[in-house]
Copies of this chain bind each other. A is one copy, B any other.
Amino acid sequence: MSPILVVGSVAFDTLHNAQGSFPRVLGGSAVFASVCASLLSDVRLVGVVGEDYPESAKAMLRDRGIDLTGLEVSPGETFHWEGRYTDDLTSRESIRTDLNVFATFQPKIPEAFAESPFVMLANIQPELQLSVLDQIRSPKLVVADTMNLWIDIAKPALLALLKRVDVLIINEEEARQLTGRHHLVEVQRALLELGPKTAIVKQGEYGAWLFQEGVAFHAPAFPLERVVDPTGAGDSFAGGFLGYLARENDVSLPTLRRAVVVGSALASFCVEGIGTTRLVEVQSSDVDHRVEAFAELVRV
Tell me the A residues contacting B by CB distance below 8 Å.
Answer: 88, 182-185, 188, 203, 205-207, 209, 216-220, 223-227, 254, 257-258, 261, 295, 297-300
- Given A218-B220, A220-B218, verify A227-B298 contact (CB < 8 Å): no
Instruction: State the Cβ distance, A182 to closest chain B Cβ, in Å.
Output: 5
Q: Which residues of B contact A258 (CB under 8 A)?
A: 300
- Given A203-B206, A206-B206, verify A223-B184 contact (CB < 8 Å): yes
Copies per assembly: 2
26 contacts between A and B (CB under 8 A): A183-B226, A183-B227, A184-B223, A185-B223, A185-B224, A185-B225, A185-B226, A188-B223, A203-B206, A206-B206, A207-B218, A207-B220, A209-B220, A209-B223, A216-B223, A216-B297, A217-B298, A218-B220, A218-B297, A218-B298, A219-B298, A220-B220, A254-B300, A257-B300, A261-B300, A298-B298
Chain B residue with Cβ nearest A262? B300
Q: How far is the CA of A298 from the CA of B299 in the complex (A)?
A: 9
Chain B residue with Cβ nearest A189? B225
Main secondary structure of the interface of A (DSSP, over half): mixed
Q: How far is the CA of A219 from the CA of B207 in the complex (A)?
A: 11
Q: Which residues of B contact A216 (CB under 8 A)?
A: 223, 297
Instruction: State the Cβ distance, A242 to closest chain B Cβ, in Å.
Output: 17
